Structure 1
Amino acid sequence: MISKLRLFFVFITCFIAVHASSQTKVTDLVCEYMHNPIGIDIEKPRLSWKLISDKHNISQKAYEIKVAYSEKDLKANKNLLWHSGKVESSASIHVQYQGQPIPSFKKVYWTVRVWDNKGKLSSWSEPSTWETGVMDDEQWNRASWISVHDEGKITTSLPSQYYRYDFNIEKKVKQARVYITSLGTYKLFLNGSKVSDYIFGPGWTSYHKRLQYQTYDVTEMLDKDNAVGVMLGDGWYRGRMGWQNDRAYYGDRLGLLFMMHLRFSDGSEKWITSNKDWKWSYGPIIWSDHYDGECYDLNKELTGWNLADYNDGEWHKVELLDVTKDNLVANVNELPKIIKELKPIDVFTSPKGELIADLGQNIVGNIRLKVKGLPGDTIIMKYAEVLDNDGNFYTANLRSAKATDYLILNDESEVVYEPNFTFHGFRYVHLQGLRNPLSKDDLTGLAIHSPMRETGHFECSDSLLNRLQKNIEWGQRDNFLDVPTDCPQRDERLGWTGDAQVFSMTAAYNFDVATFYTKWLKDLAADQLVDGRVPVVIPDVVSKLKGSAAWADAVIIVPWTMYRVYGDIRILEEQYDSMVKWVEYMARKAGKSYLWKNDFHWGDWLAFTSTRSDYPGATTEKDLIANSYFRYSSMLLSKIASIIGKHEDSRKWAELSENVKSAFIKEFVTPNGRLVSHTQTAYLLALSFDMLPDTLKPKAANYLAQDVEKFKHLTTGFVGTPLLCNVLSDIGRDDLAFMLLIRKEYPSWLYPVTKGATTIWERWNCILPDGSFHLMGMNSFNHYAYGAIGEWMYSYIGGIKSNSEYPAYKYFTLSPHVGGGLTYAKGELITMYGKILSSWNITNGIFNYEIEIPCNTSAKVVLPNAQVADVLIDNKALENNKSLDFKAEGKNVIIELGSGKYKIQYKYNN
């Protein structure tokens, strides 16, 4: 009897386990791309989730969402703010909240369940949350902008400002939130502790039009007696900006705006706000600047200044500042923070006798230094990306940026110091003023950038290509510091639109950049001129430079990338007017001829040049580039207008696009398909942007291939390079694409790798073959634009390719391309729906292919050089599998697959 009972329980346990494992589950709930966000100001936020299952071909057929103010009400199905009911839909991303309006400072809970295509209903997901910020601008009237006395016209960096305020709490706090922003860069403390690891708040925006505030949960940081402390530095607001030594671009006076909302257990509330009763003082930060560094004097240390028992009798009363609050917006993207810490790989003395620490990686950020000395000692920390040919510290390429920190000691005790309001682009640190030997344990490199979840992974059998991929990733990390900067080290560090445009798809393979670009695009629209021109940098601090083709087209191409990768229709809607203004500007300039001529353009920036007298370089006519982008952007705008329901607009932009194409053919194309600029970039634009009649495309493709074969290297600059390998593969010349990719000599992607690069260079030849440097005036060793080759590595070698007709990888292509002597490649991508895997290797003539397709998606799988009779899928012959849709097409086999994991094998017919 006992034995039978035991068998019964084993049977029940197994039945439950099998049933549970086969059930579709709902996981990874996000609101506006974020997990449990607080302080958002979006009235109808969008909700997304993922499905997971261990079965094949799982998709969603319906969903149901519930939203409530408490988890208890959610589970009890009471007092719901929104109950969607059962909605017949496969949508599992960007489902817009349709419930009751949610006022300021409210936290809500939500859960979702789904019905799958097998007829099974999932369990309710674990509840997730979002919390509103300041939904009514009038709420800011509780607080006042505060500042120090008027410091006059700013011509140099002044001491950082310290603010403090004491308050008492007599009740038990249930919830506490801080809402804060500043003119300048802030650091926030509560009772002596940093409130957050975030750095450089409130971030860099077009401050007069859009000033972000941040929300922090400080519930667990409060006591009976409390003190708020805030440090302010010049930052982007008042610091040095651009290469013309401009300072205080946005204003001469720093300022602070602060609100703390307290909810007590008895249901009552209290506000702590910035007002005339706050106090301020200068402190140990004598000056700070993003370009020049920071000077910190320990003799002026304000010990305990942010604690409640601090004696602030000698501090000054603040002044109220008359500054608008109408431009305040909630933070969209997370602020930068220290993401990674690196120890030096070497500490050495250069031939000039300089003490240098080598981090082994070019990073952006600061250092943390442990040091001891005597009172009055000044420790000097200088930063550089490279050493010169003799092994000495090299900073000429920083131009006027001093990139130097100073620490002034006050006694003989050990000090741990890291800068507060500056950052540097560097691999090497030159230290002066040390009395004791420097060990590797005394110094730590602090890599700082905007927090971006890693979504992509690429690797292959070529170690140099793997290093190239790492260089691309590091270049993105280092330059995605709240805005997509061109370079992080010299007196520039600006959000160049052209760089962001050409790199946007590669960026979205490597990292989740949805909120990063969402924030930046809002500033692009804000800084766009009334006539439609787009500044070359965003936020705009170089007001004379606007409207360059390929740069300004970021206004359309970056939102289009966001749509392709994340299925984000709202960003198309929100940026649409901005897109229209730019296309209308080009149309006005072109007039009835539909040819846009003689305007300001950067052209194919930093294309290959030569010192040979016959100049076999690559100069592509700027008007040809401009009209190519005119065609492309108007064509994309037509598609975008259709997607957001503006069908009449769509027809108008389509007609404009075709007229531009016709004018382009007459002006720039010979009857035999030759372009007036006989360069790689010209043909890449013509082929990629559909600038040619179908009859001439093969001839143009042949001209492109001949040019690559003639030079045996690329000749492209910022405009042509991102298109190069993509177009070569699309015209059937993988051989040339791989030849260019694996080339090690200058000019090539791997040439910098052979020179020890750990990031992407600005030029193809930042370091010349003889080891000397190119022109020091513009020679960055950390510029991400040429890293746009990463898109081809993911989408062609890895084979993971999006489909704009089914955005967010709802339906996509897996089509690996083999070449370059590679025997193995692996691409991974975390999408809005889940993980895509495409991993192949060729062993003993057998192509082994492992793939993964997320639930609620499907894919077209293209097997290169395959025959149907040879293909095994999960150890079963493909030709005998009647449930799969497949066909032979040329040398390839194409299979349509639903979600799940698959292993494919076949004889590779090279």
Structure 2
Amino acid sequence: MRTEFETEREHGAVRRATLLVTARGLVEAWLNGRRVCDDVLTPGWSSYEWRLRYASYDVTTLIQERTVVGLSLGKGWFGGRLGWSGKGSFYGDELGAFAQLEIEFEDGTVQLVVTDESWRSGPSAVLANDLYDGQTIDARLVDDAWKRPGFDDGGWRGVHALEFDTSTLVPYIGPAVRRWNELPVAEVIVSPSGKTILDFGQNLVGWIRVRTSGPAGTEITIRHAEVLENGELGTRPLRSAKATDRYVLSGGTDEFEPTFTFHGFRYAEIEGWPGALSPEAFTAVAIGSELDRIGTMRTSDPLLNQFHENVVWGMRGNFVDVPTDCPQRDERLGWTGDIAAFAPTAAFLFDVDAFLSDWLVDLDLEQQHHDGIVGFVIPDILKYHDRERPTDMGPVDSTAIWSDAAVWVPWTLYQAYGDESVLRRQFGSMAAHVRRVDSLLSPSGVWEGNFQFGDWLDPDAPPEYPADAKADKGVVATAAIYRSARIVADTAALLGLEEAHREFDAIAARLRDAFNSEYVDDGVVKSDCTTVYSLAIVFGLLSPEHEEFAGRRLAELAEQAGYRISTGFAGTPFITDALTQTGHVDAAYRLLMEKDCPSWLYPVTMGATTVWERWDSMLPDGSINPGEMTSFNHYALGAVADWMHRVVGGIAPLTPGYASVLIAPQPGGGLTEAETALETPRGRVAVHWTTDGDQLSVEVELPEGVEGILRLPGEGDRTITGGRTTSISELTPAVA
């Protein structure tokens, strides 16, 4: 789409020019042939029914006497496929653009150029585009003249106005999506069947930029996948997603970059390449929401360091405008359970305050329009088609862990960054979730009866039945809603909402009593497995004597499992904390450092460069897990990195936003060194510790004006202040 106009120069020089732009679909904008920004996938994915974000760009330097505004449209989330039913266009049948160019002159006059029915539309070189299936570009049709003044658009068509509620237009709260890294080809592989496969050495999210030349009409096909199986491209986990880009050559030198799609991949199979293939012709471009890295960690163990790096790459690849579950198959949805588990890790590694605050607005909107229910995914496209929902779940309603994201995520942001405004904005949503679940409780006061994911992806569950966990679903659900009720009560007190504080404090007390009455027998928690003890301990559901028993039992169960993982989505974020809290930090380290499957380090020994969805997404023989649902880039099981930052690294907030800091590293697991740093809202906090025999040396850096507590194994608490502090102490035998 384009429009061309004369600048009203009689008002003097251009003082300022701003372009506001959005779309039903994806939009890329040019002024006089130049891209107005580096953003991609604009305007991203929001709950379009109630909120469509627009981007704002300073284009002052691009205005000329005669100016062309050019817009390219793609399907994106609005018009493309979403979910695994094969269906798309849930939000509407037609793509459309909305733009407003504001030109302010020296005399204060403002000239407006807006999308209206005077604009013209024409074909492009993009013949097909879909986020799941890929993009097709015919370079023979590339003609950038339409972006510049003087183009003859006589062969183009007009446009028509779509019915649209402009009150849904809102500015971005979170960051835009951008390119953030580029990787060269690490290896060119010839598969057993003779296919040419590129290995970029890293599982990433984005696309491949290609530069080549060849006879006009030559078609190059690029298929993407995360892994190889038997030496061939492992495409079965993609399910129906084609993840394939096609390029038709012009006969000259062509450069292709498919910016209306994205893929999760490490490997790419190339077909139709003209002549000898040169690795230099290909560049993997990693994309994601623009986030500032604030937290880092390094230890003396290379496998553990690689695992931590895998957590980082997995997060970057799944933070593409919304926090998604996976970036490669026919899904890529904003699953609430994943971010409920992972938010503390995310908030340490990157500044995600604006990113998650933006997503929480959509969560609140979806919840308001669904009787207080927080859906499985946000934005919620599952509401549009029953086939999109997992089977055997009955009527849609609140679900533990997943729906608890309404409470856990804003509370995490407050703890990490110390800004009460997120709690004020989200309190209605937080309260509505707890009230909804309170209405679902059984006569005995526990949460049973409706569909629950439970301890999803328990490693002992059959591949085809990921919800068949050892942990009783009622125990998991009741524990989760107790935690939410307790947080909402604390939030109400913090915000000075006395009546609400009394309401939710009473709900939490009733839930705690019901949990102990229904599920705890002489300290034994119903279903007697690692997840139920982990939740009961960390969420504070047990009496002191029962908590001590639960800690011993948890350590015993971990030992019986050979310190291999026995928890799923519900228990994994909390098991190492539960062990540490009850005096079994050595067992927590044994879990962390285990290499046999299932474990956190097993995928690393298999060459993983991101965190997997299943503990055994790839089996030890190199074959892909037979389950239909298998991804090699899911961040949820990387939630243990939060424990690593606090317990191995030793950095935790004493008060929200690190206004005061707890420095409490607990060495173990055979590690001899760890170095952790975090850019807090008040400045840099860093801890570096080493061991030499039974001697522990710790160096701490705190921002000026920030106090901390230094808590080392076997020693009393010590108050420290801003600046550098060094401590040398003796390790006790338990942690040596």
> Does TM, normalized by the shorter one, top 0.5?
yes
Match of 1:695 among 545, 551, 561: 545
Q: Give the deviation of 1:904 after TM superposition.
A: 2.2
What is the CA–CA distance in structure 1 between the aligned matches of 2:193 and 2:532, rounded to whole Å?
47
What is the CA–CA distance in structure 1 between the aligned matches of 2:4 and 2:89, rounded to whole Å?
27
What is the CA–CA distance in structure 1 between the aligned matches of 2:23 and 2:704, rounded to whole Å?
44
Which structure has the greater CA radius of gyration? 1
In the alignment, what sits opposite 1:373? 214
Supply the AA of the counterpart residue of 1:811: S
Q: Do the aligned residues in 1 keep the contact of 2:547 with 2:582 (CA within 8 Å)?
A: no
SS of the residue 2:447 aligns to: coil
- Is 1:469 aligned with 2:308? yes
- Is 1:503 aligned with 2:352? no
In the alignment, what sits opposite 1:430? 269
**1:780-805 deviations in Å (ceiling 9; x for gaps):** 000000010110110000010123xx
- Is 1:789 aligned with 2:640? yes
In the alignment, what sits opposite 1:831? 680
Q: Give the deviation of 1:163 after TM superposition.
A: 3.6
What is the CA–CA distance in structure 2 between the aligned matches of 1:185 and 1:711, rounded to whole Å?
49
In the alignment, what sits opposite 2:76? 235
Q: Do the aligned residues in 2 keep the contact of 1:195 with 1:216 (CA within 8 Å)?
A: yes
**1:535-567 deviations in Å (ceiling 9; x for gaps):** 000000112554211000000000000110111
Q: Give the deviation of 1:300 after TM superposition.
A: 2.3
What is the CA–CA distance in structure 2 between the aligned matches of 1:269 and 1:772, rounded to whole Å?
63
Supply the AA of the counterpart residue of 1:764: W
In the alignment, what sits opposite 1:902? 725
SS of the residue 2:17 aligns to: strand
Alignment of 1:95-174 (within 5 A): 162-170=1-9, 171-174=12-15
- Is 1:809 aligned with 2:658? yes
Supply the AA of the counterpart residue of 2:414: Y
Between 297-306 and 627-636, report the one with greater CA deviation: 297-306
In the alignment, what sits opposite 2:105? 264
What is the CA–CA distance in structure 1 between the aligned matches of 2:693 and 2:611, rounded to whole Å?
36
What is the CA–CA distance in structure 2 between the aligned matches of 1:540 and 1:555, rounded to whole Å?
14
Q: Give the deviation of 1:618 after TM superposition.
A: 5.1
Q: Do the aligned residues in 2 keep the contact of 1:830 with 1:836 (CA within 8 Å)?
A: yes
Alignment of 1:629-708 (within 5 A): 629-670=480-521, 672-708=522-558
What is the CA–CA distance in structure 2 between the aligned matches of 1:260 and 1:579, rounded to whole Å?
39
Match of 1:554 among 382, 385, 405: 405
In the alignment, what sits opposite 1:741? 592
Supply the AA of the counterpart residue of 1:553: D
- Is 1:199 aligned with 2:40? yes
- Is 1:628 aligned with 2:468? no
Would the alpha carbon gap of residues 760 and 331 (structure 1) be closer, same or farther in structure 2, given more than 3 Å must change? same
What is the CA–CA distance in structure 2 between the aligned matches of 1:542 and 1:638, rounded to whole Å?
31
In the alignment, what sits opposite 2:188? 347
Q: Do the aligned residues in 1 keep the contact of 2:471 with 2:531 (CA within 8 Å)?
A: yes
Q: CA-atom RMSD, angstroms? A: 1.5
In the alignment, what sits opposite 1:120? none
Supply the AA of the counterpart residue of 1:674: V
SS of the residue 2:206 aligns to: strand
Q: Do the aligned residues in 2 keep the contact of 1:641 with 1:649 (CA within 8 Å)?
A: yes
Would the alpha carbon gap of residues 727 and 636 (structure 1) be closer, same or farther in structure 2, given more than 3 Å must change? same
Match of 1:537 among 371, 377, 399: 377
Q: Give the deviation of 1:530 after TM superposition.
A: 4.1
**1:124-161 deviations in Å (ceiling 9; x for gaps):** xxxxxxxxxxxxxxxxxxxxxxxxxxxxxxxxxxxxxx
Q: Do the aligned residues in 1 keep the contact of 2:373 with 2:397 (CA within 8 Å)?
A: yes
Q: Give the deviation of 1:611 after TM superposition.
A: 7.6
- Give the gaps of 5 or more residues in structure 1: 1-161, 865-890
- Is 1:394 aligned with 2:234? yes
In the alignment, what sits opposite 2:392? none
What is the CA–CA distance in structure 2 between the aligned matches of 1:705 and 1:482, rounded to whole Å?
40
- Is 1:762 aligned with 2:603? no
Q: Give the deviation of 1:846 after TM superposition.
A: 3.3
In the alignment, what sits opposite 1:150? none
- Is 1:273 aligned with 2:114? yes
Supply the AA of the counterpart residue of 2:355: F
In the alignment, what sits opposite 2:136? 295
Match of 2:331 among 478, 482, 492: 492
Between 895-904 and 603-612, report the one with greater CA deviation: 603-612
Q: Give the deviation of 1:830 after TM superposition.
A: 0.6
Would the alpha carbon gap of residues 695 and 846 (structure 1) be closer, same or farther in structure 2, given more than 3 Å must change? closer
Q: Do the aligned residues in 2 keep the contact of 1:488 with 1:782 (CA within 8 Å)?
A: yes
Q: Do the aligned residues in 1 keep the contact of 2:219 with 2:272 (CA within 8 Å)?
A: yes
- Is 1:846 aligned with 2:695? yes
Between 833-842 and 587-596, report the one with greater CA deviation: 587-596
In the alignment, what sits opposite 1:409? 249
Q: Give the deviation of 1:169 after TM superposition.
A: 4.4
Q: Do the aligned residues in 1 keep the contact of 2:322 with 2:359 (CA within 8 Å)?
A: yes
Supply the AA of the counterpart residue of 1:828: A
Supply the AA of the counterpart residue of 1:834: G
Q: Give the deviation of 1:845 after TM superposition.
A: 4.2
Q: Do the aligned residues in 2 keep the contact of 1:618 with 1:679 (CA within 8 Å)?
A: no
In the alignment, what sits opposite 2:451? 600
Supply the AA of the counterpart residue of 1:830: E
**1:3-57 deviations in Å (ceiling 9; x for gaps):** xxxxxxxxxxxxxxxxxxxxxxxxxxxxxxxxxxxxxxxxxxxxxxxxxxxxxxx
SS of the residue 1:309 aligns to: coil
SS of the residue 1:319 aligns to: coil
Would the alpha carbon gap of residues 845 and 695 (structure 1) be closer, same or farther in structure 2, given more than 3 Å must change? closer
Q: Give the deviation of 1:508 after TM superposition.
A: 0.7
Q: Give the deviation of 1:709 after TM superposition.
A: 1.1
Between 300-309 and 287-296, report the one with greater CA deviation: 300-309
What is the CA–CA distance in structure 1 between the aligned matches of 2:461 and 2:64, rounded to whole Å?
68
Supply the AA of the counterpart residue of 2:561: F
SS of the residue 1:282 aligns to: coil
What is the CA–CA distance in structure 1 between the aligned matches of 2:445 and 2:531, rounded to whole Å?
22
Supply the AA of the counterpart residue of 2:189: F
- Give the gaps of 5 or more residues in structure 2: 384-388, 390-395
TM-score with structure 1 setting the length: 0.77
Alignment of 1:553-592 (within 5 A): 553-590=404-441
Q: Do the aligned residues in 1 keep the contact of 2:181 with 2:287 (CA within 8 Å)?
A: yes
In the alignment, what sits opposite 1:456? 295
SS of the residue 1:304 aligns to: helix
- Is 1:478 aligned with 2:317? yes
What is the CA–CA distance in structure 1 between the aligned matches of 2:613 and 2:499, rounded to whole Å?
42
In the alignment, what sits opposite 1:334? 175
Q: Do the aligned residues in 2 keep the contact of 1:564 with 1:807 (CA within 8 Å)?
A: yes
SS of the residue 1:625 aligns to: helix
**1:499-551 deviations in Å (ceiling 9; x for gaps):** 00000000011100000000000000011144211100000011255421100
**1:474-501 deviations in Å (ceiling 9; x for gaps):** 0000000000000000000000000000
Would the alpha carbon gap of residues 845 and 169 (structure 1) be closer, same or farther in structure 2, given more than 3 Å must change? farther
- Is 1:308 aligned with 2:149? yes
What is the CA–CA distance in structure 1 between the aligned matches of 2:604 and 2:413, rounded to whole Å?
30
Q: Give the deviation of 1:776 after TM superposition.
A: 4.9
What is the CA–CA distance in structure 2 between the aligned matches of 1:650 and 1:833, rounded to whole Å?
30
**1:292-315 deviations in Å (ceiling 9; x for gaps):** 001111222233111112111111
Q: Do the aligned residues in 1 keep the contact of 2:454 with 2:469 (CA within 8 Å)?
A: no
- Is 1:859 aligned with 2:708? yes
Match of 1:892 among 704, 715, 733: 715
What is the CA–CA distance in structure 1 between the aligned matches of 2:397 and 2:286, rounded to whole Å?
32
**1:151-192 deviations in Å (ceiling 9; x for gaps):** xxxxxxxxxxx4444443424111111111111000011111
Supply the AA of the counterpart residue of 2:619: L
Q: Do the aligned residues in 2 keep the contact of 1:169 with 1:223 (CA within 8 Å)?
A: no
State percent identity of aligned pairs.
38
SS of the residue 2:549 aligns to: helix
TM-score with structure 2 setting the length: 0.95
In the alignment, what sits opposite 1:223? 64
Q: Do the aligned residues in 1 keep the contact of 2:702 with 2:722 (CA within 8 Å)?
A: yes
